[in-house]
């Protein structure tokens, strides 16, 4: 296969030490080179990115299209930065210009991207919204021939996915036609995915690798030492037992990741581990500054840190080097999320992926066990797309007035209807959303023509993200003049007084002063300090998982449950709890119990 490639590509592969292409790279080459829209589903570490790019590079070298001809869309800034680092090598070898565009891109860099166009632009969904309305950037986007959507499973059921479908329709108005390549390691209902992001017949390339995966649920029981440790970490003996268990297991591996479901729990866990151990530990989540995250990623990759406590900010394909095992603190909530996280260990497909789930109570044991069983059997959740999201629609209608200057109601409606989430949108619904925009002075509507008004600019750029906007305070360490991260307004309102302390980056800091939206701090030793909470964190449990948990509550009392990977403690604790509960009432997949307590109704499901 390699021998048929362009000489520059062959030389580059040789420098990288690649003698043979992987299965997914071989299978994907022909359909992508022939111009077909493609969905690639292949495990982490099998070379999906190169599978998408090799045939594009081959065609690019042959045709030398005008810039910007390649858009690489990924859901996270960290992933964008990582891809840029990997692709710099290819840019040098092939004579390409590649740059990245996201929320942290400076105004100077943005200007340079418009003045000196790149052949490939790596960008987030939100960044695509901003470049679509730039006068010079729009001229460059007319040359787009290829759009790669990375980690497509991450956005498919969110409003960000809806936003992307409409952005692609607006892009089609500019470039007329482009090839779409979608990438994912884990996704269910692939045909539905192809219909959402492509207008053509899509070739699905699914490469299953026989990768060894080990997943088990653990429930550490407290001992006498945990009672002492509980006082040291200002917590319960049960929590101390879980921290001790993690520290003991860390000794079995050279490097590991500890995933939590929220930033708040990441801060709690990292700070408590630091109190009980001298192990080199880092923390990584989206409310830490870019500088802190990049430094942490680098130190972990270089082996200076033994483990990282992290959130979903590291569950995607950011390159952080070798990981021997993945810990999941509490139920991961979704099968896809668990597989994505565990896939970070043994990142190369020939290595074993090891996942340890630490459950925190009886229901958490069963939920974790159900998700672990489903993950081992590759029973992935189905998903639902957001249909007719009116807030996204309002933003995109305003975007269309930037694209066209002015646009008829019929033309705007026709563009919106092409996007899968809006295929059932009626003209009446469209007009109702438009009417609101006219009433609040963002748009005008005369004789069936929509035009933007002065407020449109501020509205469009303030609403680039579908993630709820929360006022944030930047935290600066006055000792070393570093920017640490951000806190949400609600937490600052409750705890933001001079002299008070809080935990950030797994360390305590004392507030020295607060000036407008900046908080200046100095290091403290007060580990009893408040732990920040951030809004919009915990994801819901899928219905099919919740139903199986309900069935397992009964099953665990009557028969063996060997198909569920639990340790002995987990099984004993859960069985004893639900036996006791069954004497009174036991909610299952078919039974719900409702209690009245004073002026409250409590639903047990």
pLDDT of residue 317: 60
In this structure, is the dihedral angle defined by the CA atoms of residues 555, 559, 561 and 563, taken in order, positive or negative? negative
Average pLDDT, the chain: 90
> What share of the chain in percent tops pLDDT 90?
60
| Domains 2-206 and 390-462 alike in fold | no
Q: Residue written as tokens 């997949």?
A: 589
pLDDT of residue 271: 92
The pLDDT of residue 105 is above 80: no
Question: pLDDT tens-digit profile of 22-57?
Answer: 889 999 999 999 999 999 998 777 888 999 999 999
The pLDDT of residue 82 is above 80: no
Considering only CA atoms, which of 70, 57, 65, 60 is closest in space to residue 25?
Answer: 57
Using 50, 70 and 90 to split pLDDT, how confident is the model at 588?
very high
Residue 361 gets which letter from DSSP? S
- E-assigned strands of 88-226? 98-101, 120-123, 146-149, 179-184, 202-206, 213-218
The pLDDT of residue 208 is above 80: no
Using 50, 70 and 90 to split pLDDT, how confident is the model at 343?
confident
pLDDT of residue 315: 67
Q: DSSP 3-state assignment of 534? A: coil
pLDDT of residue 537: 62
Question: What is the pTM (predicted TM-score) of this model?
Answer: 0.83
Using 50, 70 and 90 to split pLDDT, how confident is the model at 495?
confident
The pLDDT of residue 505 is above 60: yes
> What share of the chain in percent tops pLDDT 70?
97
- Best CATH choice for the domain 2-206 from the list 3.40.50.1460, 3.40.50.300, 3.40.50.620, 3.30.450.20: 3.40.50.300
The pLDDT of residue 350 is above 90: no
pLDDT of residue 318: 66
pLDDT of residue 306: 93
Q: What is the mean pLDDT of residues 62-91?
A: 85
Task: Report the C-alpha gap between 568 and 557 in whole angstroms.
Answer: 15
pLDDT of residue 319: 66
pLDDT of residue 185: 81
The pLDDT of residue 349 is above 70: no
The pLDDT of residue 559 is above 80: yes
The pLDDT of residue 97 is above 70: yes
| Helix residue spans in 150-223 (DSSP H) | 159-175, 190-197
Q: What is the mean pLDDT of residues 134-141?
A: 89
Q: Rounded to 5 degrees, what angle do the CA atoms 350, 43, 166 make?
A: 160
pLDDT of residue 78: 67
Tell me the three-class secondary structure of 302-323, residue by residue: CCCCCEEEECHHHCCCCCCCCC
168 vs 189, more confident: 168
State the fold for domain 390-462. Answer: Arc Repressor Mutant, subunit A (1.10.10)
The pLDDT of residue 536 is above 70: no
Question: pLDDT tens-digit profile of 416-471?
Answer: 999 999 999 999 999 999 999 999 999 999 999 999 999 999 999 988 888 777 88
Q: Where are the domains of the chain?
A: 2-206, 390-462, 472-523
């Amino acid at each position: 296969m390699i021998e048929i490639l362009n000489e520059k590509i062959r030389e580059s592969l040789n420098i990288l030490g690649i003698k043979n292409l992987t299965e997914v790279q071989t299978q994907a080459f022909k359909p992508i080179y022939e111009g077909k829209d493609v969905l690639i589903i292949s495990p982490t570490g099998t070379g999906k990115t190169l599978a998408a790019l090799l045939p594009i590079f081959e065609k690019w070298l042959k045709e030398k299209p005008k810039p910007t001809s390649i858009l690489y869309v990924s859901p996270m800034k960290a992933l964008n930065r990582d891809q840029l680092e990997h692709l710099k090598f290819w840019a040098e070898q092939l004579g390409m210009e590649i740059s990245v565009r996201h929320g942290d891109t400076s105004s100077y860099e943005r200007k340079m991207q418009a003045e000196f166009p790149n052949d490939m632009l790596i960008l987030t969904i939100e960044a695509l919204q901003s470049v679509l309305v730039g006068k010079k950037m729009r001229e460059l986007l007319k040359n787009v021939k290829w759009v790669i959507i990375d980690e497509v499973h991450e956005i498919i059921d969110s409003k960000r996915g809806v936003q992307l479908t409409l952005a692609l329709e607006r892009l089609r108005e500019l470039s007329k036609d482009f090839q779409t390549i979608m990438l994912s390691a884990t996704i269910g209902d692939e045909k539905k995915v192809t219909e959402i992001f492509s207008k053509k017949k899509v070739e699905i390339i699914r490469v299953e690798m026989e990768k060894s995966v080990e997943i088990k649920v653990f429930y550490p029981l407290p001992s006498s030492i945990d009672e002492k440790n509980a006082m040291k970490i200002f917590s319960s003996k049960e929590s101390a037992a879980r921290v001790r268990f993690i520290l003991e297991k860390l000794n079995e591996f050279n490097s590991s990741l500890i995933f939590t479901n929220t930033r708040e729990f990441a801060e709690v866990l990292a700070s408590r581990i630091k109190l009980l151990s001298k192990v080199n530990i880092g923390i990584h989540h989206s409310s830490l500054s870019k500088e802190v995250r990049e430094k942490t990623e680098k130190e972990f990759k270089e082996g200076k840190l033994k483990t990282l406590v992290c959130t979903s900010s590291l569950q995607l394909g950011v390159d952080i080097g070798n990981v021997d095992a993945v810990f999941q603190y509490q139920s991961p909530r979704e099968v896809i999320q668990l597989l994505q996280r565990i896939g970070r260990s043994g990142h190369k497909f020939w290595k074993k992926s090891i996942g340890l789930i630490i459950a925190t109570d009886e229901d958490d044991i069963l939920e974790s066990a159900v998700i672990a069983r489903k993950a081992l059997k590759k029973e992935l959740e189905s998903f639902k797309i957001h249909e007719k999201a009116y807030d996204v629609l309002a933003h995109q209608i305003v975007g269309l007035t930037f694209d066209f200057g002015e646009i008829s109601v019929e033309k705007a409606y026709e563009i919106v209807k092409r996007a899968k989430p809006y295929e059932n949108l009626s003209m009446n619904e469209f007009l109702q959303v438009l009417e609101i925009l006219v009433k609040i002075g963002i748009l005008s509507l005369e004789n069936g023509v929509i035009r933007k008004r002065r407020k449109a600019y501020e509205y469009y750029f303030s609403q680039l993200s579908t993630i709820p906007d929360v006022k944030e305070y930047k935290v600066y360490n006055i000792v070393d003049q570093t920017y640490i991260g951000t806190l949400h307004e609600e937490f600052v309102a409750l705890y933001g007084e001079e002299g008070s302390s809080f935990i950030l980056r797994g360390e305590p800091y004392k507030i020295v002063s607060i000036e407008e939206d900046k908080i200046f701090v100095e290091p403290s030793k007060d580990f009893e300090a408040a732990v920040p909470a951030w809004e919009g964190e915990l994801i819901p449990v899928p219905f099919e998982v919740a139903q199986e948990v309900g069935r397992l509550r009964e099953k665990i009392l009557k028969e063996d449950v060997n198909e569920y990977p639990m340790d002995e403690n987990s099984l004993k604790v859960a069985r004893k709890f639900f036996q006791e509960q069954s004497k009174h009432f036991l909610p299952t997949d078919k039974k719900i119990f409702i209690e009245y307590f004073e002026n409250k109704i409590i639903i047990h499901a």
